[in-house]
Amino acid sequence: MKQILDNADILIMAPFCLGYLWAANKFCKKFLGASQRGEWLFLILSFGSWLLRNILSRLYFIPYIFSALLDSVFFVGLVVLLFRSDREKRLLAASMLMVPVRLVADMCDAFLSCLVLIFQHMVKKIPEPFFEDWEIGLIGGVGYCFAILTVYWMSKHLDTVFCGKRGKWYVTLAVPLLVIITVYDVAGWGASNGIMVRSGGSMGVYYDQIFSLAGFWVLSLLSMAATGFYMFGMNRIYLEQEKSGQYHSQIAVYKMLAEQYRQSERLRHDMKNHIIALSALSRNKEWEKIDDYLGNMESIVLDDGGDMTGNKAVDALLYQKHKQAEEENIKWECDAQIPKGCGINEFDMCVLFGNILDNALEACGRMQRDACRFINIQAKTVKKCFLLEVKNSMDSTEKYTEGFTNKDNSQEHGIGLLNVGDVANKYNGAVHTEAENGIFIISILMPLNDTAHDIKTAV
């Protein structure tokens, strides 16, 4: 009985630890993918290693720093070996999952321990209070609860971190996180041995404990702040670089379309001369020259039967996308009218149409060829606002979350919708997206001519 009581903290923390590992398993399954066998192996081996480490630390003297580093290496190894996806992404997932169980749980433990010590000393009047094993277990269990909540939050908000990045980027993000965890473990070991905070016996055990726990709390808080700033800062920098790269590509396309239209306009002005030349060749029965002449004209003449929106740049863009849709046997429906003098410049208008249609064509392209694939475009004026709505078919098995799908090998994943959102915000507009029953819908509403208008009541 006494032996059981001596290990009460392990018994109390065990179900909480298992709960954290279950949450970590779901996190890895979402972002990495795994077989059912791999999931069970991860739970069994990771929990078994935790239990074995705690038991051995009671039977034999094992330095904390050695135990913590060995535990980290084993955990990273399990994630890398048992889950799928790219190796670099698995390394990042493992390093991120150590943040809650190390930093968040320790911060909560230190804070709650301080409160318990202060309560025992101030209320119960215990001069030098100490923790019982069951109290250590309960406090550790609460820490694991906060770690579980952190993993749940990470599962909901880290889609942009794990989607569409290059392998080197994942390593660049993972290595500093592992370094922060290692430095934290070393500093924590120093604090636990009185290296960071000690009074030399002049202030008593009670204050030594308070100051040491406060040091733990500050250390874990600073480590969490460094981790969060680095992780989200790097992700923000990556997204901004990708958006900038797409903008430069769109400028090049816009210039190409503008030049194409200038050539078309010159051709229309010279049509009379072309007709005279063709008539002369026809009278002389020079058929090969006529074919060559018509071929040169065809290469620069835009199809006048295309989509006429009232904006030449958008017309050229729609012509190209329509042509691509026809080549891929995608049904195309377009009813778009852009009002003159709407206050939205041509480049921004091309950013809207271009990114949306690129995503639509890509979504249709991922579907089977014999499936019903379509793109429907509607653009019109609605109550002093410009409304653009595009519907397209998509694979019903794909999951859509905040601008990202579960498609593979996308280096510009979701960047297009970020650019669309930037343009909408520039004109005080709003963007709404939804995906249901194999249909993706995006709607953009922007006031015309900077008119002060309530977008929510526009439709």
pLDDT given for residue 25 in this prediction? 92
What pLDDT does 387 receive? Answer: 92
Give the three-state DSSP class for 429: coil
Between the alpha carbon of residue 232 and those of residues 61, 173, 224, the distances in Å are: 39, 10, 12
Decide if pLDDT at 298 tops 80. no
In this predicted structure, the answer to whether residue 264 has a pLDDT above a threshold of 90 is no
| Nearest alpha carbon to residue 349 among 421, 423, 418, 417 | 423
% of residues, the chain, pLDDT over 70: 79
First to last CA, the chain: 72
Residue-wise pLDDT for 326-370, tens only, equals: 989 999 999 888 887 778 887 788 888 888 998 899 889 888 877
Per-residue model confidence as pLDDT tens digits over 420-454: 888 888 888 999 988 888 899 999 999 887 543 44
As a whole number of angstroms, the distance between CA 10 and CA 29 comes to 28
- DSSP-assigned states of every residue in 328-365: TT-EEEEEE---TT-S--HHHHHHHHHHHHHHHHHHHH
pLDDT-based confidence at 144, cuts 50/70/90? very high
457 or 449: whose pLDDT is higher? 449
Query: Is 413's pLDDT higher than 60?
Result: no
pLDDT at 312: 74
Q: Is the pLDDT of residue 302 over 70?
A: no
Q: Kindly indicate the confidence band of residue 242, based on its pLDDT and cuts at 50, 70 and 90.
A: low
Residue 9 confidence class, pLDDT cut points 50, 70, 90: confident
Residue 315 reports pLDDT greater than 60: yes
CA distance 264 to 408: 39
- Round the average pLDDT of the chain to a whole number and report it: 79
- Confirm if 83 and 162 have CB atoms less than 8 A apart: no
Alpha-carbon Rg for the chain in angstroms: 32
Report pLDDT for 393: 92
If we measure between CA atoms, which residue out of 193, 270, 178, 306 comes closest to residue 230? Answer: 178
Say how far apart CA 316 and CA 332 lie, in whole Å: 16
- Give the pLDDT score at 255: 66
**Which residue, 415, 363, 97, is CA-closest to 246?**
415
**Is 411's pLDDT higher than 50?**
no
Per-residue pLDDT for 390 more than 60? yes
Which residue is it, tokens 């790097």?
234
In this prediction, residue 86 carries a pLDDT of: 83
Q: Which helix (H) or strand (E) holds 382?
A: strand 374-382
How many Å apart are CA 322 and CA 299, to the nearest integer?
Answer: 17
pLDDT(410) > 50: no
Report whether 267 contacts 300 (CB < 8 A).
yes
pLDDT at 459 over 50: no
Torsional sign, CA 9, 15, 19, 24: positive
Sorting pLDDT into bands at 50, 70 and 90, what band is 71? confident
Give me the pLDDT at residue 87, please. 87
What is the spatial distance between Cα 184 and Cα 224, in angstroms, rounded to a whole number?
A: 10
Residue 382: phi and psi, rounded to 5, are: -130, 110
Distance CA 414, CA 424 (A): 16
Return the higher-pLDDT residue of 320 and 373.
373
Q: Which of 19, 30, 40, 39 is nearest to 89 (CA)?
A: 30
Task: For the chain, list the domains and their CATH numbers.
Answer: 2-246 (no CATH), 307-457 (3.30.565.10)
Give the whole-angstrom CA distance, residue 238 versus residue 217: 32
The amino acid occupying position 118 is I
| Total length of the chain | 459
Query: Is 113 buried (19+), middle (13-18) or exposed (0-12) by CB count in 10 A?
Result: buried
Contact (CB, 8 A) for 342 and 300: no
The pLDDT value given to residue 456: 43
Q: Which region holds residue 200: left if phi is over 0, alpha if psi is between -120 and 50, else beta?
A: left
Q: Give yes or no for a contact between 318 and 309, defined as CB atoms under 8 angstroms apart.
A: yes
Q: Which residue has the tokens 């989509």?
A: 307
Band (409; pLDDT cuts 50, 70, 90): very low
- If you average pLDDT over residues 193-209, what whole number do you get? 60
